[in-house]
C-alpha cells in the first residue's frame, strides 16, 4: 500500500537547488515550508522558483506552506556578548532595547513591562534559563534567577504565564502574508495563535490581499490549549508545534497533549500536522536515533495527517536522506495495521460529509480499486480523508492550485481533470484519466464522489455517490 501520511519539509540553504529539491520530491516530499522567520524576499523567491522547477521535473504536486513568524521576542545585544546569571541572583531586563548597560539584559519586546506581572516566568533560550518577575519600574523588569546559565545575543524569550498585548499577526506578518500570496502559497500557518480571533485576522488579511488560502493554526501557546475548540471552529487545520509548546508547558505534558490535539482535529475533519525535532539528529548524521524513529511512528499512530521537518532539511547535512528515512518509517508504521481509526461522528453532518462517509463504506463493501473524488475546491477530498479509508483516494480537480493544496492531505493523490458540461462527459474523462495514469484497469470498480450538477455552479456541494466500472463510459 502507498504511504498515506504526508511529509512536509522546511526550505533553506541546505536544499536551495532544484537538483536537491528534485531528489527530495522523488523520495517523498509532499509539502514545502517557507519559514518567514528567516530570509528576505530574494531568498524566498529563489526557494519557491527552485521548488516549482523540481516539482515540475518530478511530475508531482508539492504544496507550498507559508509559515508566518508571529510575535517572537528576543534578547538584544548583550554587553560583552554574554552574561552569566546565577540561581538566586537578580537581573534587570530593559524592554524595547537592542542594547543596554553592562549587568542588564536588553529585550526587543517593548511591551514587556506592561504585560508581565509579579511571579510570572521569563524563559530564555528554549527554557534553559528561567527567571521570575519580582518587580518592575517604567520599562525595566526586575527578575530573580531560578535556573541560571549564560545568556548570549539574540536568544529567544518565552512568557508562558503572561497575557500578551501584541497581536498574533504582527505588522511584519502582514507584509509577509502579502509576499506569500504573491509567491503562490497554497497554505498559510499562523504562529503563536492564542484564540480564534488570531486566525480570523489572518483570514481577513488574505481576503484583502485577494486570495483565499486555507489557514493552519500553530498550537504552541498554553492559552491555545484552553481555546482549542474555538480555534478549531475558525482554522482550516492545526500544527502541533512541539518546540515552543514544550517550553511553555512542562515537557512531560507534551506527548499526551499531542495525542489530544490530533484527536480533536481528526474528530472535526480538519488536517493536522506534527512538527519539531522529529529527526533532529539527522542534521549532522545520516541515521536517526531509535527514539526519533519511534517518535515519527508514534505521530503516525496518533493520527497525524502530515509530519513536518524543520532544521533537518533547512540547514542539515542530509536533506534528501532525511526525507527517505521519514518515508520508510511512515510506511512501516502504516503497514503494521495499528494506525488509529476514529469512530465516525454520528448525526449533525452536512450533506457533503454524509456522502463522503457513505462512499468510504461503499468502497470497502465492493472492494473498490479507488475512491475517485471530483472536487473543485478540495473540500470533498479532505472530508473523504477524515474517515481514513483503506481504499486509495484519487482527487480530480480542474485547478492546479487545488491539486497542489491537496498534496498536504492524508491519503489523497491529486490529479488535474478539466470540468465537463454533463455527467456522461465527466465519466468519460474520468475513465480516460484512470486508464492513462494507470490508476485502475478496465473493468475495475471505483466509487465516484461528486456534485449532482456539472459545470457552472457545479461541485459546490457533494451529494452524488456512484459505484462505477472503469471503462463503462467508453464503450
**Which residues are marked as active site?**
33, 74, 218, 276
Q: Do residues 216 and 271 lie in contact, with contact meaning Cβ atoms separated by under 8 Å?
A: yes
CA distance 438 to 378: 22
What does each C-alpha distance from 294 to 164, 228, 259, 332 come to in angstroms? Answer: 36, 27, 15, 11
Please report, for the chain, how many H helices and E strands are present, in that order.
16, 22
Burial grade of 144 (CB within 10 A; 0-12, 13-18, 19 or more) = middle
> SS3 for 189?
strand
Which residues are bridge partners to 445 per DSSP? 469
- 98 DSSP 8-state letter: S
Which residues are bridge partners to 393 per DSSP? 371, 412
> SS3 for 200?
helix
314 closest CA partner among 69, 118, 32, 50? 32
Which residues are bridge partners to 65 per DSSP? 33, 187
CA distance 272 to 266: 7
172 closest CA partner among 196, 151, 192? 192
CA distance 333 to 196: 34
| Other Cβ atoms closer than 10 A to 154 | 10
CB proximity list for 382: less than 8 A, separation 6 or greater: 269, 271, 406, 409, 412
79 closest CA partner among 61, 91, 88? 91
Q: Do residues 6 and 409 lie in contact, with contact meaning Cβ atoms separated by under 8 Å?
A: yes
Tell how far CA 241 is from the center of its chain: 9
293 closest CA partner among 313, 307, 303? 307
The pairing of strands 90-95 and 140-147 is antiparallel
Amino acid at each position: 500500500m502507498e504511504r498515506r501520511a504526508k511529509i512536509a519539509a522546511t526550505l533553506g540553504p541546505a536544499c536551495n537547488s532544484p537538483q536537491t529539491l528534485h531528489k527530495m520530491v522523488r523520495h517523498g516530499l509532499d509539502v514545502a515550508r517557507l519559514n518567514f522567520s528567516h530570509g528576505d524576499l530574494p531568498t524566498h523567491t529563489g526557494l519557491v522558483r527552485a521548488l516549482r522547477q523540481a516539482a515540475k521535473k518530478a511530475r508531482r504536486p508539492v504544496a507550498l506552506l507559508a509559515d508566518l513568524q508571529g510575535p517572537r521576542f528576543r534578547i538584544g545585544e548583550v554587553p560583552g556578548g554574554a552574561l552569566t546569571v546565577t540561581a538566586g541572583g537578580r537581573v534587570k531586563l530593559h524592554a524595547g532595547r537592542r542594547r543596554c548597560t553592562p549587568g542588564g539584559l536588553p529585550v526587543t519586546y517593548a511591551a514587556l513591562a506592561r504585560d508581565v506581572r509579579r511571579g510570572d516566568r521569563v524563559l530564555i533560550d528554549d527554557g534553559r534559563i528561567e527567571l521570575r518577575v519580582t518587580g518592575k519600574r517604567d520599562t525595566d523588569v526586575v527578575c530573580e534567577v531560578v535556573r541560571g546559565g549564560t545568556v548570549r545575543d539574540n536568544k529567544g524569550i518565552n512568557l508562558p504565564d503572561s497575557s500578551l498585548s501584541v497581536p498574533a499577526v504582527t505588522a511584519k506578518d502582514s507584509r509577509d502574508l502579502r509576499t506569500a500570496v504573491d509567491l503562490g502559497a497554497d497554505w498559510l500557518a499562523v504562529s503563536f495563535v492564542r484564540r480564534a480571533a488570531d486566525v480570523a485576522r489572518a483570514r481577513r488579511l488574505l481576503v484583502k490581499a485577494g486570495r483565499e488560502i486555507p489557514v493552519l493554526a500553530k498550537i504552541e501557546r498554553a492559552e491555545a490549549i484552553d481555546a482549542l475548540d474555538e480555534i478549531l471552529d475558525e482554522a482550516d487545520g492545526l500544527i502541533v508545534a512541539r518546540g515552543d509548546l514544550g517550553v511553555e508547558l512542562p515537557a512531560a505534558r507534551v506527548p499526551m497533549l499531542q495525542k489530544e490535539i490530533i484527536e480533536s482535529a481528526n474528530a472535526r475533519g480538519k488536517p493536522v500536522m506534527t512538527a519539531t525535532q522529529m529527526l533532529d539528529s539527522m542534521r549532522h548524521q545520516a541515521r536517526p536515533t531509535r527514539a526519533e524513529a519511534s517518535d515519527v511512528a508514534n505521530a503516525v499512530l496518533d493520527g497525524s495527517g502530515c509530519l513536518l521537518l524543520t532544521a533537518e532539511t533547512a540547514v542539515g547535512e542530509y536533506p534528501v536522506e532525511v526525507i527517505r528515512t521519514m518515508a520508510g518509517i511512515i510506511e512501516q508504521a502504516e503497514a503494521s495495521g495499528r494506525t488509529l481509526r476514529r469512530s465516525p461522528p454520528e448525526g449533525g453532518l452536512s450533506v457533503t460529509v454524509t456522502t463522503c462517509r457513505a462512499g468510504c463504506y461503499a468502497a470497502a463493501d465492493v472492494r473498490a480499486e479507488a475512491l475517485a473524488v471530483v472536487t473543485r475546491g478540495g473540500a470533498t477530498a479532505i472530508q473523504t480523508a477524515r474517515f481514513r479509508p483503506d481504499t486509495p483516494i484519487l482527487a480530480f480537480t480542474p485547478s492546479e492550485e487545488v491539486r497542489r493544496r491537496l498534496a498536504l492531505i492524508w491519503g489523497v493523490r491529486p490529479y488535474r481533470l478539466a470540468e465537463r458540461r454533463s455527467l456522461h462527459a465527466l465519466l468519460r474523462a474520468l475513465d480516460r484519466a484512470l486508464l492513462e495514469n494507470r490508476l485502475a484497469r478496465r473493468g475495475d470498480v471505483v466509487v465516484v464522489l461528486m456534485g449532482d450538477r456539472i459545470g457552472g455552479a457545479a461541485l459546490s456541494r457533494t451529494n452524488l455517490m456512484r459505484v462505477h466500472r472503469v471503462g463503462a463510459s467508453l464503450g
